[in-house]
C-alpha cells in the first residue's frame, strides 16, 4: 500500500486538498467496496458516512446498478446526442419528467455543468423575450459548483475569494437562520424592487445548503421567495444536485415546498454514485423560446452529454426507488439516526443539532479552526469515513446502511468526543 501511495503522490493532484497535508495524511488507496464499506489494500475497512461526496445512494458495487451498466455495455456505450439518441436516455427522460413534473430534459455530465446550463438558459430565455437581464441572484452561503459561472453564484468564501476578479457580477440575498424569516423576506422584497429588472434568475439549494455547512432552512421562505421572483419576472432555479433523490426525506426537496422552480438541476445521486451524469429539467415555456431559426437554438454541449452507460445506471436507480419503497423506508432510518445521535447532545461543546431526512448534522462549538480535521483523523482509525465541513460534523450515509451500522457510528462519535478537548 505504501508503494501505491508513493506512486499516487508522484503524479496525482487531489481535488479540494492542500497537497502538503498529504505528507502527514496521505490519500488512502481503496481496493474494493461493498455496501457502505470501503476496504484498503491492507484489509482495513472504512464506513462511507458521507456517501463518497453525497453521490452514493444504494451502496458501493450495488448489484442492480452494476448489472444494468453491464447489460448496457454490450449494446451501446456512448453516442453523441447531437443528431442521435438512445433508449436509456429516452426512457430516463420520460421517467424524470413524470416524477418531477417537467416537460424537457437537457443533459450534461456533472453538477457544475448543469448549473452552467441553467444559468445560460435563464439569461438567453430573457434575451429571446427581448430583454437583457444580465445578473443572477443567489443566496448567501450557497454552493453551486466550481466552474466560473457556478462559482460566481456561490457564497462560500473559501472556494470563491481567490477568483473574485474573474467572476460574474451577482446579487446575493440573506438565507434565513431561524424559524422566523420575515427579515430575509423583506430584504429580498426591497432587492427585487430595486434590481428586479436586471435579474434573469434566482438560484438556490432548496431546504439544505449542503456545502454551506449543512445549513437547513424553512420551506416557507422558499415558497414566499419564489412567489416574489415570479412577480418580478425572475426565473427560479432549484439546484437539487445534492438534495435530490431522496436525501431530504422526499424524492426531491421541492416536494416539501408548495412552489416549483422553472429549472431543476440534478446530478450526484442520479446514477447511484456509479457514473457522472447531470440534467436540467424545465417546462415547455422556456423550451419554446428557443424554438425556431437555427440562431435561436441553445448551442451548448459537452462531449459526454447523456452517456448511455450513465443513463442505464440512472434507470436502475429509479427502479430501486420504485420497487423498494425507498422514500418510506428512509423515514424509519432517519428517525433511528435521530434517536441514536440524540445521545451526543450531552456534550456541551456540541450544538445546532439538525436533520432533514437522510442528512444529520451538528457543530463543534469552539474557537479552534478545523477541529473537524481531528474527528476525520480519529474517525479513520475507528473505521469511519467522516469528512467534516470546518467545524460541522455531518452524517449522510448511503440508504442501505443498517441500524447496527448507525448505532456503531453514534457510539464511536461518543467515544471520540469523550477524548476531545474543545
Ligand atoms: C456538488 C454540487 C454541485 C457541483 O456538482 P459537481 O458534480 O461537483 O460539479 C453543485 N451544486 C450543489 C448543490 C452541489 O452539492
Residue-wise pLDDT for 54-111, tens only, equals 999 999 999 999 999 999 999 999 999 999 999 999 999 999 999 999 999 999 999 9
Q: Enter the C-alpha cell of residue 321.
A: 426507488
CA atoms within 13 A on the CB side of 218: 15
State what percent of residues in the chain have pLDDT above 90.
95
Tell me the pairing of strands 170-173 and 199-204: unpaired
What is the DSSP secondary structure assignment for residue 107, as one 8-state letter? E
Judged on CB neighbours under 10 Å (0-12, 13-18, 19+), 345 is exposed
Measured from the CB, is residue 215 less than 6 Å from ligand 1? no
Q: What is the pLDDT of residue 330?
A: 98
Measured from the CB, is residue 144 less than 6 Å from ligand 1? yes
Q: What is the pLDDT of residue 305?
A: 96
Measured from the CB, is residue 145 less than 6 Å from ligand 1? yes
Please name the residue whose Cα sits nearest to atom 5 of ligand 1.
Answer: 111
pTM higher than the cut 0.95:
yes
Beta-strand ranges (E) seen in 124-271 are: 135-139, 170-173, 199-204, 208-209, 215-216, 235-239, 263-266
- Rounded to whole angstroms, the Cα distance separating 397 from 186 reads 37
User: Backbone dihedral region of 83: left (phi > 0), alpha (psi from -120 to 50 degrees) or beta?
Assistant: left
Q: Which atom of ligand 1 is nearest to the CA of 150?
A: 10
Q: What is the pLDDT of residue 125?
A: 98
Q: Kindly indicate the confidence band of residue 408, based on its pLDDT and cuts at 50, 70 and 90.
A: very high
Q: Enter the C-alpha cell of residue 368.
A: 479552534
The rounded Å distance from CA 417 to ligand 1 centre is 30
| Helices assigned H by DSSP within 163-274 | 182-195, 219-231
Please name the residue whose Cα sits nearest to atom 11 of ligand 1.
Answer: 144
Amino acid at each position: 500500500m505504501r508503494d501505491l501511495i508513493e506512486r499516487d503522490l508522484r503524479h496525482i493532484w487531489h481535488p479540494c486538498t492542500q497537497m502538503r497535508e498529504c505528507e502527514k495524511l496521505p490519500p488512502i488507496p481503496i481496493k474494493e467496496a461493498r455496501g457502505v464499506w470501503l476496504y484498503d489494500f491492507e484489509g482495513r475497512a472504512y464506513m462511507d458516512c458521507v456517501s463518497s461526496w453525497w453521490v452514493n445512494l444504494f451502496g458501493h458495487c450495488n448489484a442492480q446498478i452494476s448489472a444494468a451498466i453491464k447489460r448496457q455495455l454490450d449494446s451501446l456505450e456512448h453516442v453523441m446526442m447531437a443528431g442521435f439518441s438512445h433508449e436509456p436516455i429516452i426512457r430516463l427522460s420520460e421517467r424524470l419528467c413524470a416524477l418531477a413534473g417537467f416537460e424537457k430534459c437537457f443533459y450534461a455530465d456533472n453538477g457544475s455543468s448543469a448549473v452552467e446550463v441553467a444559468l445560460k438558459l435563464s439569461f438567453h430565455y430573457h434575451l429571446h423575450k427581448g430583454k437583457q437581464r444580465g445578473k443572477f441572484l443567489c443566496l448567501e452561503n450557497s454552493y453551486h459548483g466550481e466552474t466560473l459561472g457556478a462559482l460566481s453564484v456561490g457564497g462560500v468564501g473559501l472556494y470563491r475569494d481567490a477568483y473574485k476578479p474573474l467572476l460574474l457580477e451577482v446579487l446575493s440575498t440573506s438565507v434565513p437562520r431561524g424559524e422566523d424569516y420575515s427579515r430575509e423576506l423583506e430584504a429580498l422584497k426591497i432587492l427585487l424592487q430595486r434590481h428586479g429588472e436586471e435579474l434573469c434568475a434566482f438560484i438556490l439549494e432548496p431546504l439544505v445548503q449542503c456545502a454551506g455547512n449543512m445549513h437547513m432552512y424553512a420551506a416557507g421562505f422558499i415558497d414566499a421567495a419564489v412567489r416574489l421572483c415570479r412577480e418580478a419576472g425572475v426565473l427560479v432555479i432549484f439546484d437539487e444536485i445534492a438534495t435530490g433523490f431522496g436525501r431530504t426525506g422526499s424524492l426531491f426537496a421541492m416536494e416539501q415546498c408548495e412552489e416549483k422552480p422553472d429549472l431543476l438541476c440534478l446530478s450526484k445521486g442520479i446514477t447511484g454514485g456509479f457514473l457522472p451524469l447531470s440534467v436540467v429539467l424545465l417546462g415547455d415555456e422556456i423550451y419554446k423560446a428557443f424554438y425556431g431559426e437555427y440562431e435561436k437554438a441553445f448551442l451548448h454541449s459537452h462531449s459526454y452529454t447523456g452517456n448511455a452507460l450513465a443513463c442505464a445506471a440512472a434507470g436502475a436507480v429509479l427502479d430501486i426507488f420504485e420497487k423498494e419503497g425507498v422514500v418510506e423506508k428512509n423515514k424509519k432510518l432517519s428517525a433511528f439516526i435521530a434517536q441514536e445521535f440524540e445521545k451526543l447532545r450531552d456534550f456541551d461543546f456540541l450544538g445546532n443539532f439538525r436533520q432533514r431526512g437522510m442528512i444529520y448534522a451538528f457543530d463543534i462549538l469552539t474557537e479552534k479552526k478545523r477541529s473537524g480535521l481531528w474527528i476525520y483523523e480519529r474517525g479513520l482509525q475507528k473505521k469511519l469515513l467522516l469528512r467534516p465541513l470546518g467545524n460541522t460534523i455531518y452524517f449522510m450515509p448511503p440508504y442501505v446502511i443498517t441500524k447496527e451500522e448507525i448505532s456503531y457510528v453514534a457510539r464511536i462519535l461518543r467515544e471520540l468526543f469523550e477524548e476531545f478537548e474543545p
